[in-house]
C-alpha cells in the first residue's frame, strides 16, 4: 500500500486509548481555554484524523512563512499550505504552556484538543499579506479564502496537540465522515491496490461520474474513493447533506458493486486553487489513494486562477519525488452530441462549443429552482430530483 507522506505510517493525533482520553478530558476542564476559529478547528480535525501526517500540531511563524514561500518547512518537509492556529485575543492563554482548544462549531464549545504551546507569535500585516499572496495568489478581500484567512487573527499559536473529538463531522455525517485511518483500512479490506481519489464540494453530475470511470479505466484502478468536503463553504454552495444524498444515489444506481467508496473529510474549503490542489493530493496519499484526479479550475473560485493552474503547479513547483501519489490530469468533460457520450474536450478537437451539452452553474440552479430537471445528458434524473427538492425548498423559504 502507498506510504503516507513523510512517514512510514499514519500519525493520527486523535487519542484512541480510553483511559488516556478520559484523563485528558478531565485535565482539559482545569486548563486555560482558547475558543479557536473554524479554520483552526478544521486543522485540528485533519490532524486528529491522520490526514495531515506527519505533523504533530500547528506550525510556528517560521514554518508557515517557509511553506508559503517555498512549499516546505524549515526542516525541508514538502507541504503546500500553512497549518495555523490563529487568534485575535491571547489574554486567556498568555504565559500558559498547556491549554484546551474549544470548538466554535458545536453548541457549548466542547474541548476539541489539548495543546502544548511552543510559542505565541504575532504576525505582521506584511506576514499576513505575504502568506495570502503566496497561498491564494491574491490579497483581495473579495476572495472568500483570503477574507477568512485575514479575519482569523494575527497571533499564531504553535505546538503539538492531542485531539479529543472530530467536531460536528462524526455526529452530523456518521455514514460519510471517515478518518484517513478508516479509509486505509477499508481500502485494504476491499482488496484494492490501485485507488483513484475524487475531490468534490459539489453534487456530482453525469460528467463527474464519467470522469471517475475514465480515470479508473486509464489507470486500471480497482476502485474510486469519492471524498467530499464536509466543512464550511462560501455562500451559495450546496450544503453537505444534500450533496451526500445526491452522490449516494448516483453511486447506488450507476456504479458497479465494490467500485466506489463514498467518504467525507472535516475541513473548511480554502478556495486556494493550485495550492489547495496540492494539499488535496498530499492528504489523499495519506488516506491511501495511489492516483488523484485534478480537473479544470480545481479548488478555484471566480477568476483568480487559470483553468489548468492546479495541474501545472505539479509540474512547475512540486519537486520531483516529493509525493508518491500520481496525478490524473483531466480536461473539462461534457456530453458530446456528435458521439452521444461524455468526453473530455481535449480528446475531440473536431468539436465546436455547439457540439456539447453545456450548462453554467447559474443556469442549472435556475432550472432546478423551477422544478425542471436538467437534460439527461447533463444530470442523472435521480440526482436531479434530490437537487430540485432542495432548491424548491430554498425558493419557498425565501418567499
Instruction: Please tell me what DSSP assigns to residue 123.
Output: P
Active-site residue flag, 201: yes
Catalytic one among 98, 190, 201, 296?
Answer: 201
Instruction: Please tell me what DSSP assigns to residue 322.
Output: S
Euclidean distance between the first and the last CA atom of the chain, given in angstroms as a whole number: 53
Going by C-alpha positions, the residue among 55, 179, 162, 49 that lies closest to residue 101 is 162
Q: Which three cell numbers stand for residue 334?
A: 461534457
Query: Scanning the structure block, which residue is given the C-alpha cell 473530455?
Result: 344
Between the CA of residue 193 and those of 1, 177, 190, what are the distances in Å?
7, 22, 9
Catalytic one among 202, 248, 296, 365?
Answer: 202
* Helix (H) / strand (E) containing 331: none
Q: 3-state class of 42 per DSSP?
A: helix
d(CA 39, CA 27): 25
Cis peptide upstream of residue 154 (ω within 30 degrees of 0):
no
Going by C-alpha positions, the residue among 20, 19, 64, 25 that lies closest to residue 43 is 64
Beta-carbon neighbour count of residue 124 at 10 Å? 10
Active-site residue flag, 202: yes
d(CA 256, CA 245): 18
Show Cβ contacts of residue 177 under 8 Å, excluding neighbours closer than 6 positions.
166, 169, 170, 230, 263, 264, 265, 266
Provide the CA 93 distance to its chain's centre, in angstroms. 30
d(CA 46, CA 14): 10
Active site residues: 201-202
Amino acid at each position: 500500500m502507498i506510504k503516507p507522506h513523510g512517514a512510514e505510517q499514519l500519525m493520527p493525533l486523535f487519542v484512541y486509548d480510553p483511559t488516556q482520553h478520559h484523563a485528558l478530558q478531565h485535565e482539559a476542564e482545569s486548563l486555560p481555554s482558547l475558543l479557536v476559529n473554524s479554520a483552526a478547528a478544521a486543522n485540528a480535525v485533519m490532524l486528529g484524523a491522520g490526514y495531515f501526517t506527519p505533523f504533530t500540531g500547528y506550525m510556528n511563524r517560521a514554518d508557515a512563512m517557509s511553506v508559503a514561500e517555498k512549499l516546505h518547512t524549515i526542516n525541508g518537509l514538502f507541504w503546500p499550505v500553512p497549518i495555523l492556529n490563529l487568534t485575535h485575543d491571547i489574554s486567556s492563554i498568555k504565559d500558559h504552556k498547556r491549554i484546551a482548544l474549544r470548538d466554535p462549531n458545536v453548541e457549548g464549545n466542547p474541548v476539541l484538543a489539548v495543546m502544548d504551546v511552543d510559542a505565541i507569535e504575532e504576525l505582521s500585516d506584511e506576514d499576513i499579506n505575504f502568506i495570502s499572496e503566496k497561498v491564494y495568489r491574491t490579497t483581495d478581500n473579495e476572495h472568500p479564502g483570503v477574507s477568512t484567512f485575514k479575519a482569523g487573527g494575527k497571533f499564531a499559536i504553535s505546538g503539538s496537540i492531542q485531539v479529543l473529538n472530530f467536531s460536528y463531522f462524526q455526529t452530523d455525517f456518521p455514514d460519510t465522515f471517515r478518518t484517513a485511518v478508516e479509509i486505509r483500512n477499508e481500502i485494504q479490506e476491499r482488496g484494492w491496490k490501485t485507488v483513484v481519489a475524487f475531490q468534490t464540494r459539489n453534487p456530482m453530475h453525469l460528467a463527474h461520474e464519467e470522469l471517475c470511470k475514465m480515470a479508473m479505466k486509464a489507470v486500471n484502478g480497482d476502485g474510486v474513493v469519492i471524498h467530499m468536503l464536509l466543512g464550511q463553504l462560501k455562500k451559495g454552495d450546496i450544503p453537505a447533506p444534500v450533496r451526500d444524498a445526491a452522490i449516494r444515489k448516483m453511486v447506488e444506481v450507476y456504479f458497479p458493486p465494490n467500485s466506489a467508496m463514498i467518504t467525507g473529510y472535516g475541513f473548511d474549503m480554502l478556495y486556494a486553487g493550485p495550492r489547495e490542489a496540492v494539499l488535496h493530493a498530499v492528504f489523499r496519499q495519506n488516506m491511501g489513494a495511489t492516483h488523484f484526479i485534478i480537473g479544470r479550475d480545481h479548488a478555484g473560485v471566480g477568476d483568480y486562477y487559470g483553468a489548468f493552474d492546479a495541474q501545472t503547479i505539479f509540474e512547475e513547483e512540486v519537486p520531483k519525488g516529493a509525493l508518491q501519489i500520481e496525478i490524473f490530469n483531466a480536461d473539462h468533460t461534457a456530453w458530446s452530441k456528435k458521439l452521444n457520450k461524455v468526453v473530455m474536450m481535449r480528446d475531440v478537437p473536431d468539436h465546436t462549443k455547439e457540439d456539447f451539452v453545456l450548462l453554467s452553474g447559474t443556469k442549472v440552479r435556475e432550472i432546478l429552482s423551477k422544478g425542471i430537471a436538467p437534460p439527461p445528458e447533463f444530470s442523472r434524473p435521480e440526482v436531479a430530483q434530490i437537487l430540485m427538492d432542495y432548491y424548491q425548498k430554498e425558493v419557498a423559504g425565501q418567499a
